Amino acid sequence: MLIAIPDLLSADEVAQIRALIDAADWIDGNATSGPQSALAKRNEQLPEDGDTARRAGRMILEALGRSLLFFASALPLKIFPPLFNRYGEGHEFDTHVDNAIRLKRGTEFRMRSDLSITVFLEAPENYDGGELLVEDHYGVQRVKLAAGHAVVYPSSSLHRVTPITRGTRVASFFWLQSMIRDAEERRILFDLDRSVQRLTNDLGGKDRSVIELTGVYHNLLRRWADS
């Protein structure tokens, strides 16, 4: 399941983050790569343990905390601190699968990567190429969103970033462990949650059917969730 989250960040928040990260020193993007990814990856990123990445990452985490769509689609248990990458002309990230376990260097933090997240921080008209291509059962999904928009997609999927031919692509990327490990169960809960929200708008929160379906949602979440 691939979910786009429009306007996760406001234009002002994007500008604040860009002011922070554009002034920072960038390093080779393979600093966080596994052996397979290192063969496919050509980009730059901010040092993950640097103050700039932490400050900018906190702004993104705060925005995620406000997003009902993000919570409904991901049901997050653990979120890896946001990282930041930059693709210039000739840079790309060829087809790969994200590592199943993510470790935060120098800490005991570790998590299973169920979902990957990209938050776009550059207007799409400012660069050519740089599309995120995600392969799923329905074919290849092509994603290139406005600055401030985000996309959530399975970490288990084959995906890539196409070569940049003009301009610079800037984004934040990270992973999360969901309370719901099984992707199909997570999709069912998301569909049910969206239906309940529509019925609540149409019928009101006191309608008996809305209350019962809300109970079904929470009982399924209680049955399937890890905590």
| CA 50-56-62 angle, 5° bins | 130
Note the pLDDT of residue 32: 62
Say yes or no: 171 and 189 in one domain: no
At 210, which CATH number? 4.10.860
Q: CA 97, 101, 102, 106 torsion: positive or negative?
A: negative
Phi-psi region of 134 (alpha: psi -120 to 50; beta: other; left: phi over 0): beta
Say yes or no: 68 and 150 in one domain: yes
CA distance linking residue 86 with residue 126, whole number of Å: 13
Say yes or no: 25 and 108 in one domain: yes
Note the pLDDT of residue 205: 84
Q: Give the range of the structural domain holding residue 190, as residue numbers without chain letter.
A: 183-224
| CA 50-178-124 angle, 5° bins | 60
CA distance linking residue 23 with residue 16, whole number of Å: 11
pLDDT tens-digit series, residues 163-186: 999 999 999 999 999 999 999 999
pTM: 0.93
